[in-house]
């Protein structure tokens, strides 16, 4: 009797822990994206916020006050070109260190993926949806500026050319012209971040590194004296953010 009960329990445990799907051929694993942040290699945590201590490429000394951004639509590309797209989004909040680790509910098959990518911000379809959690986080963009959501809210202070502390609001949104009843959109400013190839053999933690300094670096050398506040309705500034952001993310450590 004891053996039967033990065998039954073992069977239940094995069934509940088996990560294979019903076909029995494909092992599926979880993926966790760990978002870390640095300033040209120096790790930045929320407790580094406040003091004016980082120097951007243009030479202004800056301090960080608030950094939140959305990533969405994670795509795993197989060797045969087939894509597994996770229609998800995650609001990373470094200010409060919330959602800096994100595990999508969907598990993916093990395999050698030639690219793992995600969207910085929200594509136009996702941006037009009503996301109650993003509303609750006051991440909206007003309707007269096209509606939807911020892609990134990055606030801080810098020492301006008069040697005074001044605030900046580096807020990335969908570039918009003619703010008002009928706004127009000169170009899309969400973009794809390609992390490169990852051979996934087990449950995996993928580090996504953001070099915050890159937002000020290239191809547009960012002069905070010129572009500091009220940048949301400034489509030229938005397009420069879009261009600079392309270099901000990279693949870090992969643990599995």
Partner 1 sequence: MKKVLTLLTIILFSSCSKDDSGYQPAALPLDVPEIFSNNIIPPIIPTDNPQTVEGVALGKKLFFDEILSSDGSKSCASCHSPQNAFSDNTPTSIGVAGVAGFRNSMPLFNLAWNYNERFTWTGRELSLERQIEGPVTNPIELQSNWDDVIDRLQNHPEYPELFQLAFNTSTISKDLVTKAIAQFERTLISANSKFDRYSLGQASLTQQELNGLDIFLREDKGDCFHCHGNPNNPLWTDNDFHNNGLDATLTDLGLGVFTGDPNDNGKFKTPSLRNLEYTAPYMHDGRFTTLDEVIDHYSEGLQNSPTIDPLMKKVAQGGVQLSDQEKADLKAFLLTLSDPSLLVNPDFQN
Query: Footprint of partner 1 on this chain (CB under 8 A)?
Result: 1, 4-5, 49-51, 65-66, 130, 132-133, 135-138, 140, 142-145, 153, 155-157, 164-169, 179, 229-233
Structure tokens at 91: 């609001």
Angle, alpha carbons 163-160-48 (nearest 5°): 95
Least spacing, CB of residue 229 vs partner 1, in Å: 6
Q: Tell me whether residue 66 or residue 107 sits nearer to partner 1 (CB atom).
A: 66
Q: Tell me whether residue 142 or residue 196 sits nearer to partner 1 (CB atom).
A: 142
C-beta of residue 87 within 8 angstroms of C-beta of residue 114: no
Least spacing, CB of residue 99 vs partner 1, in Å: 13
How far, in Å, CA of 163 to CA of 168, rounded? 15
Q: Tell me whether residue 157 or residue 209 sits nearer to partner 1 (CB atom).
A: 157
Least spacing, CB of residue 132 vs partner 1, in Å: 5
Q: Tell me whether residue 149 or residue 249 sits nearer to partner 1 (CB atom).
A: 149
How far, in Å, CA of 192 to CA of 75, rounded? 10
Residues 192, 120, 34, 24: is their CA dihedral positive or negative? negative
Least spacing, CB of residue 110 vs partner 1, in Å: 34
- State how far the alpha carbon of 3 is from the alpha carbons of 6, 8, 11, 15, in Å: 5, 8, 12, 18
């Amino acid at each position: 009797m004891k053996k039967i009960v033990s065998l039954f329990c073992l069977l239940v445990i094995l069934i509940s822990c088996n990560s294979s799907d019903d076909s029995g051929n494909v092992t599926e694993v979880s993926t966790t994206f760990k978002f870390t942040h640095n300033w040209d290699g120096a790790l930045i945590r929320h407790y580094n916020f406040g003091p004016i201590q980082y120097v951007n490429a243009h030479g202004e000394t800056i301090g960080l006050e608030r950094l939140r951004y959305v990533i969405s639509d994670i795509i795993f590309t197989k060797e045969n070109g087939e894509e597994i797209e996770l229609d998800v989004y995650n609001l990373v909040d470094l200010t409060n260190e919330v959602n800096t680790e994100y595990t999508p509910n969907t598990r993916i098959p093990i395999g050698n993926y030639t690219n793992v990518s995600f969207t910085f911000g929200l594509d136009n379809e996702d941006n037009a949806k009503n996301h109650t959690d993003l509303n609750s986080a006051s991440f909206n963009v007003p309707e007269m500026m096209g509606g939807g959501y911020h892609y990134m809210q990055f606030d801080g202070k810098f020492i301006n050319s008069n040697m005074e502390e001044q605030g900046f609001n580096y807020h990335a949104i969908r570039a918009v012209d003619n703010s008002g009843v009928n706004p127009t959109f000169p170009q899309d400013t969400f973009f794809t971040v390609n992390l490169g190839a990852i051979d996934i053999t087990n449950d995996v933690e993928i580090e996504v590194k953001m070099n915050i300094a890159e937002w000020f670096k290239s191809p547009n050398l960012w002069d905070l004296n010129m572009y500091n506040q009220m940048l949301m309705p400034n489509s030229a500034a938005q397009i420069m953010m879009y261009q600079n952001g392309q270099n901000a993310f990279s693949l870090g450590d992969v643990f599995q």
